[in-house]
Structure 1
Amino acid sequence: MRIALLGTGFGQAHAAAYAARGDVEVVMFGRDPEKTARTAGRFGFAPSTDLDTAFADPSFDLVDICLPIPLHAPTALRALEAGKHVLTELPMAATLEEGRELVAAAEASDRHMFVDMFERFIPANQALEDAVRDGTYGRLLELTAWSAVAPLWPGASLGLAALPMEAMHSDLDLITRALGMPREVNVTAVARDADAAAVEATFAFDGAIARSSVSSLRPMPWGGRGGYTAAFTDGVLESTSTMGHDGRPTATLTAWTGDGAREVELPQADQYAAMIDHVLAVLRGEADNRITPAGALDALRLTLRVDHQVNGAG
């Protein structure tokens, strides 16, 4: 499998997953020759600044798009038109119109398109999806998803302009997959400055409520923390996770019922590596695509609705 990896910023998260494999060849594309060569070299990849090659070279099987959000949809469309399989970072598009265009293009193509809904591969999130589907604890009545982070990514803004699209999208996917689309959305927000803020969104459904809370108002020692609490008619699932600078994230899942609390055993999993595993398994014909554009459209629709209330976006 030969992969054109576009982007030297967040592309490093995908690069680490590819570098741990022995069945892919990766070329990393970037605009700055020095930075591209330095970053690609860290992972043992070849560097390139000739973006056109990613689409024109017939030896590339997959184009992996880790570019700024406004470039996701047009680059994905170009890759599909060039006959490439496509993996794009989330959100897949900057507007709902672009998202719908991607869905149509992907469904009309004989190539696979994937959206990096990496949180679907987190074991605790999979446990919630299973519980909702199987009715393990009855009917879901309340779901709260939250995350709070320090400025862990130098140069990256996590202010109000960025938080809904950059930081809430995955949790909103968790909510829409569990409960569908809400009939009512209410959003409040506060900013410390242009790069640090918090957003709180509440959602009303028929017979259920949900909440998504995200904040970048934390000092560096905090690292990153998050999770969810899901209250069902007959029990509660509580997920917590942390990450810091030690490279050893933690995650726990607890099931609460009338009989008490029970810690649910979770398999060890790196969500990005698991997502890449899934993409390559689909391309080998060993799995069905779980992260299609059509399956990501509701999360995009709700994210844009929250973004509109925070930033007046279209």
Structure 2
Amino acid sequence: MKIALLGTGFGQAHAAVYAGRKDVDDVVVFGRTPEKLKKISDQFGFATTTDLDTLIADSSVDLVDICLPTDLHVDIAVRALEAGKDVLCELPLAASMDDAQRVIAAQQASGRQVFVDMFARFSPVNEHIAQAIADQPYGPLRTWESEVRTALLWEGYDLRLDSLVMDTMHTDLDLFATALGRPESITVHGIQGKDRGSAAHVLLDYPGQVLVRCSASALMPASYGLGGGSRLAFAQGVLETEFTAGADGRGSTRLIEYTPSGRRTVELPERDVYAAVIDHVLACLAGKETSRITPESALDGLRITLDVRHRINEQA
């Protein structure tokens, strides 16, 4: 398999996964900055290019992996599909529902596959939570709170309210949508930092008296790094998570269960979620698995995210 990897920022995390796979024969990395391309080439031995048009048109490329800014996702995904390639697209899929539908239409016309990198769905902690909501071993869910707190760890990249919603809150909003569907109502509050950063709180009201809160802050000092967690209160128990991570998103998460019989740490397998996504994508392309991350499956989470962004922007 030959892969066109587009982007030298988050694309580095995908490059590290491809470098360890025996079933990937060739990777060509596209970027605009020769210095960044050289760094990836030196580290992984991959070929590089600044010519996107030629790379997408290359008949030997099987999969186009898009790790570029969100506003570039749709046009490049459509071009890749029209060129007969399968596509893995970094989240969020698109910046509007119309654009998301453009990708789906192009996929249907091409007969190729599109995967959205909803890596949080592959976390063992999130899989455990989703199972607990579905099977109700602790009774029905009552509240679900999630929080992400981060310093501005990426050189030259800010997180104002618009990008905070799309780039930081979207993964949790997708988890809510996947487990619970679309809420009955949404309430938002947000503030911009004086110079950089922002913070926001989102309340989602679901049928059956289920209340969900999603909070994010990019107002932390550099020494803070990245962290957060979640708390789910059920009728007969609580699940609580805590995570810490570095600028590449890799870190550790623990899950604690509280029930009337006591407190215990839930032991779960370690998993690199970025590698898990790529494992899944390649297995789907080989006909061994059915996709869990189709564009259609990402629509409800994207719709909630865009609704939150619209409401936040109205306040800003």
TM-score range, shorter chain: over 0.9
Q: Structure 2-normalised TM-score? A: 0.94
SS for the counterpart of 1:311 is: helix
Question: In 2, are the aligned partners of 1:160 and 1:194 still within 8 Å (CA)?
Answer: no
Report the counterpart of residue 308 of structure 2 in structure 1: 306
SS for the counterpart of 1:216 is: strand
CA distance in 2, matches of 1:140, 1:5: 40
Report the counterpart of residue 89 of structure 1 in structure 2: 90
Q: Deviations over 1:253-309 (max 9, x none)?
A: 111111111211111111111111111111111111000000000111000001101
Report the counterpart of residue 132 of structure 1 in structure 2: 133
CA distance in 2, matches of 1:239, 1:248: 16
Structure 1: unaligned runs, 5 residues or longer = none
Deviation at residue 23 of structure 1 after TM alignment: 2.1
Report the counterpart of residue 14 of structure 2 in structure 1: 14
Letter in 2 for 1:20: G
CA distance in 1, matches of 2:6, 2:123: 24
- 1:150 to 2:143 alignment: no
SS for the counterpart of 1:231 is: strand
Report the counterpart of residue 231 of structure 2 in structure 1: 229
SS for the counterpart of 2:161 is: coil
Q: Deviations over 1:176-206 (max 9, x none)?
A: 1121101111110112235311011001111
CA distance in 2, matches of 1:304, 1:17: 30
Report the counterpart of residue 114 of structure 1 in structure 2: 115
Deviation at residue 41 of structure 1 after TM alignment: 2.6
Deviation at residue 226 of structure 1 after TM alignment: 1.6
Letter in 2 for 1:91: P
Q: Deviations over 1:106-164 (max 9, x none)?
A: 24432110000010111100111111222222212211111101122111111223101
Deviates most, 153-162 or 35-44: 35-44
Question: What RMSD, in angstroms, separates the aligned Cα atoms of the two structures?
Answer: 1.8
Deviation at residue 43 of structure 1 after TM alignment: 2.0
Q: How does 1:154-165 map to 2 (within 5 A)?
A: 154-165=155-166
Letter in 2 for 1:288: T
Question: In 2, are the aligned partners of 1:227 and 1:241 still within 8 Å (CA)?
Answer: yes
Letter in 2 for 1:238: E
Question: In 2, are the aligned partners of 1:54 and 1:63 still within 8 Å (CA)?
Answer: no
Question: In 1, are the aligned partners of 2:226 and 2:247 still within 8 Å (CA)?
Answer: no
Report the counterpart of residue 5 of structure 2 in structure 1: 5
Deviates most, 28-37 or 162-171: 28-37
Report the counterpart of residue 41 of structure 2 in structure 1: 40
